[in-house]
Amino acid sequence: SPSYRIAVIPGDGIGTEVMPPAQKLLELAGTRYGFSFDWQELEWGCEYYSRTGRMMPEDGIEQLAECDQIFLGAVGFPGVPDHVSLWGLLIPIRRAFRQYINLRPVRLLAGIESPLRKVPAGGIDFLVVRENNEGEYSESGGRLYRGMPQEMAIQESIFTRFGVERAMNYAINLAEQRKGQLASATKSNGIIHTMPFWDEILRDLAKDHPNLTVSEYHIDALAALFVLDPARFDVVVASNLFGDILTDLGAAIIGSIGIAPSANLNPEKEFPSMFEPVHGSAPDIAGQGKANPLGQVWAASMMLDHLGHEDAGRDLIAAMEQVLTETDIRTPDLGGTATTDEVSDALVTAFESLSPAGVEK
C-alpha cells in the first residue's frame, strides 16, 4: 500500500493548533482506504527565524523536493516583518515548485448559514483560480530617497504571456468540466498596461473554446457581486493579488475565514504541491484554543484529491458536514463556543461513523 512522504510545516500562531487535527484525520483516512503517511515535521517559521536568522534552512527547498506534497499551516507572526517571513518561506516554495495555480473553492457547506441574506443550502459553489507565481507579487521595484521629502516606493507588476496563459488554460479546463462559465477579474479601466494584456490573452484563448461563456468584470464590481449574487459564478480567474483579496471575501460569504482551503498546485505534478488554509496565523487568537480547524481539514481533503484518493477526500468533507448539520459544536468564528480540540474530536467521531464513500451507516 502506498506511503506518502509529506512535509508538514505547521508554521506560526494557530498554524500549530490546526495542524494536528488535520493530520489525525488524514491518518484515519489512510487506515480506511489503504495508504499511509510518512510525516516530515519541519519546525520552520518565525521562531526558527529568531534562532537562526532564516525562515527555513539554506537547503530547505531541497528538503521539500524529496517529499510528495507539502502541508502547511500558516506563516507570519508579530516580531518578524511580514514581507521578511512570507518572502522567506511561503512565496519561495510557491515559486520553486512552479505552483502556478492557487485553487480556492468557495462553497457553502451543509450546516453553515451564509452571513448573506437569502442564500439557500448549496447556493454558493464556485472555484477561484488565482495566478500564484507572478503579477503584483514581484521583487521588481525599490525604495528611493529614504527620509527625504521626495521619498518614494516603486512596485512593478510583472505579467508574462506564458504565466497568464497557463493560469487561464487551467481555469478554462476547469470551467469546461463544470458549467462552462468563466469569469475574469480585470481592471483594464484603471491599470492600463497589465490588465488590457490580461484581457487580450483571455480573448485569444477563448476563441478556441466556443462553448465556454467568458465574462469580464472589473475587480471592484466583481467584489460587490460576490456579496450580491454569488450564485452566478462557476469559475473565476484572477491575478495573484486580486485572487488573494477575492478569496478572503469568498471565505467570508461561506461563513468564516477559518473554513476556506487553498491548494498551491503544480498541475504537471513534476514537483510537490502545497496545501494550506486561506487564513493566516491569527495572532489575535493564537494560544487560546479558539482556532477553527475546518480550513486545515478542508485543505487536507484537497491534498487527498491531488494524491488520487478522491473517495477519502470526500469523506473528510462528509465528516465536516456531519458535525455542522448534526451538532452545534463549532468555534467562535462560526458563532459557537467549542474549542479547537472539541471540534477536532467531533470530526473524528463523525469520520468514524461514516461508511466509505461518505454514505452514513
**Residues near ligand NAD, by CB under 6 A:** 14, 18, 74-77, 82, 86, 90, 257-258, 276, 279-285, 291-292, 295, 331, 333
Q: Does 134 bind ligand IPM (CB under 6 A)?
A: no
Q: Which of residues 241-260 bind Mn ion (CB under 5 A)?
A: 244
- In this structure, what is the dihedral angle of CA atoms 64, 275, 317, 117, given to the nearest 10 degrees? 170
Pair 26, 344: CB distance under 8 Å: no
Least distance (Å) from ligand NAD to the CB of residue 74?
A: 4
Q: Which is nearer to ligand IPM, 86 or 307 (CB)?
A: 86
Q: What is the helix (H) or strand (E) element at residue 161, kind and residue range?
A: helix 161-177
Closer Cβ to ligand IPM, 37 or 275, answer by number: 275
With CB under 5 A as the rule, give the number of residues binding Mn ion.
1
Q: Binding string, 195-234, against Mn ion, x = CB under 5 A?
A: ----------------------------------------
> Cβ distance 207 to 172 under 8 Å?
no
DSSP, collapsed to helix, strand or coil, labels residue 334 as: helix
Contacts of 192 (CB under 8 A, 6+ apart): none
By a kind-dependent CB cut-off of 5 to 8 A, residue 299 interacts, out of ligand IPM, Mn ion, ligand NAD, none, with: none
Closer residue to ligand NAD (CB): 78 or 190: 78
Cα separation of 85 and 93, whole Å? 12
User: For residues 56 and 354, which CB has a smaller minimum distance to ligand IPM in the complex?
Assistant: 56
Whether residue 8 contacts residue 40, with contact meaning beta carbons closer than 8 Å, is answered with yes
Q: Where are the alpha helices (DSSP H) in 58-146?
A: 60-65, 82-88, 90-96
- Greatest C-alpha distance within the chain: 71
Residues facing residue 155 across a β-bridge: 141
- Contact status: 244 vs ligand IPM (CB under 6 A): yes
Report, in Å, the least distance between residue 192 CB and ligand IPM: 24
Residues near ligand IPM (CB under 6 A) are: 76, 86, 90, 244, 278, 280
Residues near Mn ion (CB under 5 A) are: 244
